[in-house]
Amino acid sequence: MKQFYGTSLSSPLMLGTALYPSPAILADAFVKSGASVATVSVRREAAGDAAGDAFFQLIRKLGVHILPNTAGCHTASEAITTAQMARELFETDWIKLEVIGHADSLQPDPFQLVDAARTLCAEGFKVFPYMTEDLILADRLLDAGCDVLMPWGAPIGTGLGLVNLYGLRALRAAYPDVPMVIDAGLGVPSQAAQALEIGFDAILLNTAVAKAGNPAVMAEAFAKACEAGYLGRYADPMEPRDMAAPSTPVLGKAFLE
């Protein structure tokens, strides 16, 4: 697996921490998932009240890497300020950079995203930018100093999977050495396996696990799907073909006239 800003992860699965019915269910889901990274909303925890402190201690006990995010930000300046708060609160330079530009689809604003990324990279942040599968946007983010890209599979919380396979494949092919995470839109484990099979290095999801009838079981299912997708990718899979090819050889078969 590729490194993320010099860090090797034990699992390609990253999990969000919102929407779970209880802290105990959240903790159980993380244990069953084997996830290597937990994303945490800065705005949720910045108040510093007793509940927020207890939540932070829970996440610490999970023993995973913490990836704060700037969820809910709509401008570069707002995201920059939130990221600076996150560095103090969580004591990490990692930041998942979200700058939302469209209220209904939660599509990121590419212009504000690049502006924020440029400033944060210059300040020493290790930026994980939430983006669309746009090649030009990818260029701009890499030029801004990002070493990781996080294209969406589909809009946040939809569960639609990899909506634009052509665009995602093109992005992966254009930057083969850049670590990439499919972030958002996955709903079932088979979609996670597909993302890893086509070359992505990790996946990040929240709603599909947190809102499942049994989050721990769904988390375990995603973990196994990630393993299957990762192994399938490196097993050198067969190429698709238009015509049928017999699996049983016909050499030596008797032909009767």
Catalytic status, residue 96: yes
Q: What is the DSSP string of 179-222?
A: -BEEES---SHHHHHHHHHTT-SEEEESHHHHTSSSHHHHHHHH
Q: What is the DSSP string of 214-254?
A: SHHHHHHHHHHHHHHHHHHHHT-PPPP-SS---SS--TT--
What sign does the CA torsion over 57, 62, 67, 69 have? negative
Q: Which of 96, 126, 211, 253 is catalytic?
A: 96
Could you give the C-alpha distances from 194 to 45, 129, 186, 191, 239, in angstroms and in order? 33, 21, 10, 5, 15
In contact, 156 and 184? CB cutoff 8 Å: yes
CA atoms within 13 A on the CB side of 139: 4
DSSP class of residue 151 equals: E
Which single residue is written with the structure tokens 């599909």?
208
Lay out the sheet containing 13-16: strands in order across.
Answer: 150-151, 126-131, 94-97, 65-69, 37-41, 13-16, 202-205, 181-183
Catalytic residues: 96
